[in-house]
Amino acid sequence: MDHNIFSEPKKQRLNAQSASFSGIISTLPMTLVLLHPFVKLPEVDICRILGRLFTPVDRIALVLGAILHLLAGILFALSYTWTWDKGLGKVSLLSGASFGAVHGIIASVLMKQLLTVHPRRPQVWGLSNSVIYVAAHIVYGTVVAGLYRPRR
């Protein structure tokens, strides 16, 4: 091991296992914010929205939607961490919250569009849904950044 004080520090590398774990864990509080039983705003039942794209059967839609949402949580955590690994931002709570805010704004616009063509439209999308959606993504990004540990 080189202990030369003039050598560059080892670059951090993408840790897919840590990113995947962060994505799964981060999706849970995000989903709680989306369902927010503690706030008097319309909920965003993302699991049913996703699941009802494929089936009208509520229980199956809920399970399928939850699986899809967790998979998306893993994929987006991998994309956040890949972006940090490539030097755009660094792994920090502020960077995670910023990525989450941008992600949430884009996802909110796309969700509003999706619901206009959804075969079993489960809800109407309004401004309050967008606010909750962006807030939930900020939580998600912050938790991803807080949990993620790159390889050294």
121 and 115 Cβ atoms separated by less than 8 Å: yes
Could you tell me if residue 40 is inside a domain?
A: yes
Could you tell me if residue 63 is inside a domain?
A: yes
Which residue did the predictor score with more confidence, 119 or 74?
A: 74
Indicate if the pLDDT at residue 100 is higher than 80.
yes
Could you tell me if residue 32 is inside a domain?
A: yes
Please give the pLDDT value at position 34: 86
Which residue did the predictor score with more confidence, 71 or 3?
A: 71
d(CA 20, CA 11): 20
Please give the pLDDT value at position 45: 86
Quick: pLDDT tens for 45-74.
889 899 999 999 989 999 999 999 999 999
Which residue did the predictor score with more confidence, 91 or 2?
A: 91
The model's pTM: 0.86
User: In the chain, how many domains are there?
Assistant: 1
In percent, the amount of the chain with pLDDT more than 90 equals 63
Q: Which domain holds residue 125?
A: 16-147
Q: Using the 8-state DSSP alphabet, how is residue 6 labeled?
A: T
Could you tell me if residue 11 is inside a domain?
A: no
The mean pLDDT of 117-145, rounded to a whole number, is 90
Q: How confident is residue 7, by pLDDT bands cut at 50, 70 and 90?
A: very low
Lowest-confidence region among 6-10, 12-16, 71-75, 89-93: 6-10
Could you tell me if residue 4 is inside a domain?
A: no
Indicate if the pLDDT at residue 2 is higher than 70.
no
The mean pLDDT of 19-47, rounded to a whole number, is 85
Residue 133 CB contacts under 8 Å (≥ 6 apart), including other chains: 34, 44, 104, 107, 108, 111
Place of tokens 């520090």: 9
Could you tell me if residue 10 is inside a domain?
A: no
Closest of 152, 148, 142 to residue 17, by C-alpha: 148
139 and 104 Cβ atoms separated by less than 8 Å: no
Which residue did the predictor score with more confidence, 11 or 32?
A: 32
Please give the pLDDT value at position 10: 53
Could you tell me if residue 65 is inside a domain?
A: yes
Could you tell me if residue 77 is inside a domain?
A: yes
